[in-house]
Amino acid sequence: MPDKTKLTTLSELGEFKLIEHLTKDFTLQKKSSLKGIGDDAAILDYGDQKLVLTTDLLMEGIHFNLVYTPLKHLGYQAVIVNLSDVYAMNASPAQITVSVAVSNKFSVESLEELYSGIKLACDQYGIDLVGGDTTSSVTGLVISITAVGSAQHDKLVYRDGARKNDLICVTGNLGAAYAGLQILERERKIFESDYKIQPELTNYAYILERQLKPEARKDIIQALSDEEVVPSSMIDLSDGLSSDLLHICKQSGVGCRIFMEKIPVAEETINAAEEFNIEPFICALNGGEDYELLFTVSPEELKKVAQIGGVSMIGHITDSDNGNKLITKEGNEISLQAQGWNSMSED
Amino acid sequence: MPDKTKLTTLSELGEFKLIEHLTKDFTLQKKSSLKGIGDDAAILDYGDQKLVLTTDLLMEGIHFNLVYTPLKHLGYQAVIVNLSDVYAMNASPAQITVSVAVSNKFSVESLEELYSGIKLACDQYGIDLVGGDTTSSVTGLVISITAVGSAQHDKLVYRDGARKNDLICVTGNLGAAYAGLQILERERKIFESDYKIQPELTNYAYILERQLKPEARKDIIQALSDEEVVPSSMIDLSDGLSSDLLHICKQSGVGCRIFMEKIPVAEETINAAEEFNIEPFICALNGGEDYELLFTVSPEELKKVAQIGGVSMIGHITDSDNGNKLITKEGNEISLQAQGWNSMSED
């Protein structure tokens, strides 16, 4: 064992650097391994259609809280998170495996609830459940999902293809899931302090749905295909716009300029943010779990992308020398920071 | 929510029935889903080579105990378990994804140990790590691995192909991992009662290695291919001979007759079993985690299989009317019971 006095804590490295560090000596040997760790999914070569493989491990107390997440919603979310990673490669998911670990105190009926959410997501997105199992946990609930999908080789989109002058696009609106989470957290605290007070949730239907029942943007992948647009880079917004855009810039070796006033934020998100004295754009920049798509396209594609409903152009790609800049409404430049969700942080 | 008074406990159903129950409404819709839940792995159709997909979720306190499992061994084991499932389909594994959840109290150096075991297994078996990540756990260590492999369609072997008169074969010897676990458990208890007593492990090198550093039978899959033998059914021995043979019999709609004296048990396993006053064949029948292969072949293949070293023929397949029988050394018939490892049981 290494010397105890020199041990490095996980938070010193952080989630992204940790996996880079642990896997730096693993090199790809197989002809069928086209792309390994470092994108939304791995790409494997087993025939004409290239295979897209992604996996996610969801831990109670870290990724979800059973106090305000109904089990059916949790099952639905857990599938969506993985499908979103496949769509982010510009591919179509087709199969999932689901493994679940639960305490023996769970009832069969609770697990039925969880699986009813998994089934709803499968039905909604046309996905087959092909494997996995259930096992015991001495503590919390654990859900592990792997998704498999495919795409033609020349349709696959990675994080590293953004080029200078490309337009930066996002789908839908951002920060809604984060705003929804703030509401749920507040009502949980009120409820825990006085069980007679019923949660006040009626004014937040949209942002609560975005938090509790997120969707993956299958429709956008279909629309891009209909318009014959292949983005130059793409990622799904799971960690927040700042963090995810910085992934694209770093891996593509470029910089970016995005404009605060172009970032789409829903009215309900703005209202909720104001209640919490948070700037709405902070929800959009740093709030995760929106599962919208962030992609770049060459300027020639502008017209075609404008045909697709629900896509906002929020800026453009620059040389890396220019850094990663957010332009405020007042015209000030600030450097984008990755302040997204990091499950390895101390708090 | 369902009525609290009628809730069903997980142990009432048990692990195998539970996953059957939870997934009974999921039907396969995609043309690319050839085989779903119910075998060692799922089979997907994405080209000439059929794809084999399997996943495993390993929980601290249920599947492993960090008191006597060094992290490097744990990483190695976790990969082997999954590769073994791919070999059990008569296929070759090529890629894995690894997701790990750990408490923030873990050091980077401990995780390096775990990943060094994962890397050793990858190097040993020629496998690429292509995905996965690390995340936080509020409690124990969780490891989730998915393995992908492939085979020609006509080489794939399922659990449901055993036919009357087929020979029942097992590789290596059985019960060794279980015997090794008994030794580790005993020494842990002694050590915990008096920290000055050093564990007595020198006489148990072989069975401890079988428990701590199991191997998957890549060599047997290669040998079967060399001899041009395609088994009629196959499964890997993870739950114990009884339990796993009953899976084959149930899914193939047949019965079996196996002979106690034909079951291969290593001398060290016999010695350890005797120390614990256990019948050695009980270790072999009910002890799990051997990761040997159990397969059936038609009687015409007898000569070819006999060419392969380390394969024992322990009995034959019968009509289902004859039940599933174990013949003792004295010639008595007893019914095989699934007493294998079940992580959902009460104790």
Q: How confident is the model at residue A17 (pLDDT cuts 50, 70, 90)?
A: confident
Q: Is residue A202 part of a domain?
A: yes
Written as one letter, the residue type at A234 is M
Q: Are residues B311 and B188 in the same domain?
A: yes
* pLDDT exceeds cutoff 60 at A344: no
* CA distance linking residue A275 with residue B94, whole number of Å: 52
Residue B55 sits at the chain A interface (C-beta within 8 Å): yes
Please indicate if any CB of chain B lies within 8 Å of the CB of A128.
yes
**A247-265 as b/e: b if 16+ CB within 10 A:** bbbebbebbbbbbbeebbb
- Among B55, B111, B158, B346, the strongest candidate for a mutation testing the A interface, having the largest count of A CBs within 10 A, is B55
Q: Are residues A239 and A129 in the same domain?
A: no
**pLDDT at residue A318, as a whole number:** 98
Q: Check residue B2 and give its pLDDT.
A: 47
Tell me the mean pLDDT in the region A213-232.
98
- Report the CATH number at residue A121: 3.30.1330.10
pLDDT range class, residue A2, cuts 50, 70, 90: very low
pLDDT digits (tens, 9 = 90+) for A143-193: 999 999 999 999 999 999 999 999 999 999 999 999 999 999 998 888 788
Q: Has residue A19 been placed in a domain? A: no
B59/A30 Cβ within 8 A: no
Give me the residue from B132, B134, B346 closest to A55, CB to CB: B132
Q: How far is CA B225 from CA B82, B151, B297, in A?
A: 21, 11, 13
Q: Are the beta carbons of B99 and B59 closer than 8 angstroms?
A: no
B347 reaches A (C-beta below 8 A): no
Q: Are A15 and B135 an interchain contact pair (Cβ–Cβ within 8 Å)?
A: yes
Q: Are residues B98 and B187 in the same domain?
A: no
Measure the N-to-C terminal CA separation of chain A; round to a whole number of Å: 28
Of residues A19, A56, A137, nearest to B134 (C-beta): A19
Residues A61, A131 within the same domain: yes
Q: What is the DSSP string of A232-298?
A: SEEEE-SS-HHHHHHHHHHHHT-EEEEEGGGS---HHHHHHHHHTT--HHHHHHH------EEEEE-
Model confidence over A235-271: pLDDT tens digits?
999 999 999 999 999 999 999 999 999 999 999 999 9
Are B150 and B242 in the same domain?
A: no
Where do the DSSP E strands lie in B11-141? 33-35, 42-45, 49-59, 92-102, 128-131, 134-136
B131 touches chain A (CB under 8 A): yes
Could you tell me if A122 and B23 are in contact, meaning their C-beta atoms sit under 8 angstroms apart?
A: no
Last residue of a domain, one of B155, B179, B201: B155
Same domain (yes/no): A226, A253: yes
Domain boundary (A154, A185, A203) is at: A154
Whether A159 maps to a domain, the answer reads: no
- CA distance, residue A204 to nearest chain B CA (Å): 23
A26 in a domain, yes or no?
no
pLDDT, tens digit (0-9, with 9 covering 90-100), for A117-145: 999 999 999 999 999 989 999 889 999 99
CA distance A168 to A162: 9
Both B111 and B186 in one domain: the answer is: no
In this structure, is residue B8 part of a structural domain? no
B126 plus B40 within the same structural domain: yes
Nearest to B135 among A127, A139, A343 (CB): A343
User: Given this model, what pLDDT does residue B49 score?
Assistant: 87
Please give the structure tokens belonging to residue B135: 């995340």
CB atoms within 10 A of CB B165: 13
B151 and B288 in a single domain? The answer is no
Residue B343 lies in a domain: no
CA pair distance A264, A325, nearest whole angstrom: 17
Q: How confident is the model at residue B154, as a pLDDT? A: 95
In chain A, residues with a C-beta closer than 8 Å to the C-beta of B24 are none
Q: Please check whether residue A16 lies inside any domain of the structure.
A: no
Is A244 in the same domain as A316?
A: yes
Contact status, residue B91 vs residue B43, Cβ threshold 8 Å: no
What is the pLDDT confidence band of residue A5, given thresholds at 50, 70 and 90? low
Segment A103-115, tens digit of pLDDT: 888 899 999 999 9
Closest CA to A120 of A228, A258, A212: A212
The reply to whether B61 touches chain A by the CB within 8 Å rule is yes
A112 interaction partners in chain B (CB closer than 8 Å): 22
Least Cα distance to A99 among B81, B248, B274 occurs for B81
**In chain B, what is the straight-line distance between the N-terminal and C-terminal CA atoms, in Å?**
28
Q: Are residues B253 and B149 in the same domain?
A: no
- The one-letter code for the residue type at A101 is A
Q: Which of B91, B124, B155 is the last residue of a domain?
A: B155
Give A-chain residues touching B8 at CB under 8 angstroms. Answer: 107-109
Query: Which residues from chain B sit within 8 angstroms of residue A26, using beta carbons?
Result: 119, 122, 128-129
For residue range A313-330, what is the model confidence (pLDDT) as tens digits? 999 999 999 999 999 999
Residue in A64, A65, A67 with CA at minimum distance from that of residue A195: A67
Q: Residue with structure tokens 């159903």?
A: B13
DSSP string for residues in A134-201 = EEE-SSS-EEEEEEEEEEEGGG---SS---TTPEEEEES-SSHHHHHHHHHHHHHHHHHH-TTSPP--
Q: b/e per residue, B198-218, with b = 16+ CB within 10 A?
A: eeeeeebebbbebbbbbbbbb
CA-to-CA separations, B21 to A122, B14, B250, in angstroms, rounded = 17, 10, 17
Cα–Cα distance between A257 and B11 in angstroms, integer?
A: 57
Number of domains in chain B: 2
Residue A172 CA to residue A292 CA, distance in Å, equals 6
Facing A59 at nearest CB: one of B95, B130, B135: B135
Q: Is A151 in the B-facing interface, judged by CB distances under 8 Å? A: no
For residues A111 and A199, state if they share a domain: no
Q: Is the pLDDT of residue A341 over 60?
A: no
User: Which band of pLDDT confidence, cut at 50, 70 and 90, is reported for residue A49?
Assistant: confident
- The average confidence (pLDDT) of chain A is 92
Q: What is the CATH number of the domain that holds B229?
A: 3.90.650.10
How far apart, in whole angstroms, are the C-alpha atoms of residue B141 and residue A57?
12
For chain B, which ranges sit under pLDDT 50?
Answer: 1-2, 341, 345-347
Domain membership of residue B125 as a residue range: 31-155
Is the CB of residue B106 less than 8 Å away from at least one CB of chain A?
yes
Burial of B124 (0-12, 13-18, 19+ CB in 10 A): middle
Give the angle subtended at the CA of B161 by the CAs of B309 and B177, to the nearest 5°.
45
Question: One-letter amino acid identity for A202?
Answer: T
> Contact B128/A2, CB-based, under 8 Å?
no
Closest CA to A159 of A222, A221, A250, A80: A250
Check whether A194 has a pLDDT greater than 60: yes
B117 to chain A nearest CA, in Å? 12
Nearest CB to B62; choose among A44, A135, A144: A135
Least confident of A18-32, A296-310, B187-201, B296-310: B187-201
ipTM of this complex prediction, to 2 decimal places: 0.91
Examine residue A1 and state whether it is found in any structural domain, yes or no.
Answer: no
Q: Report which DSSP code applies to B254.
A: -
A20 Cβ under 8 Å from any chain B Cβ: no
Residue B21 contacts A where some CB pair is shorter than 8 Å: yes
Three-point CA angle B188, B194, B196, nearest 5°: 100
Residues of chain B with C-beta less than 8 angstroms from the C-beta of A346: 104
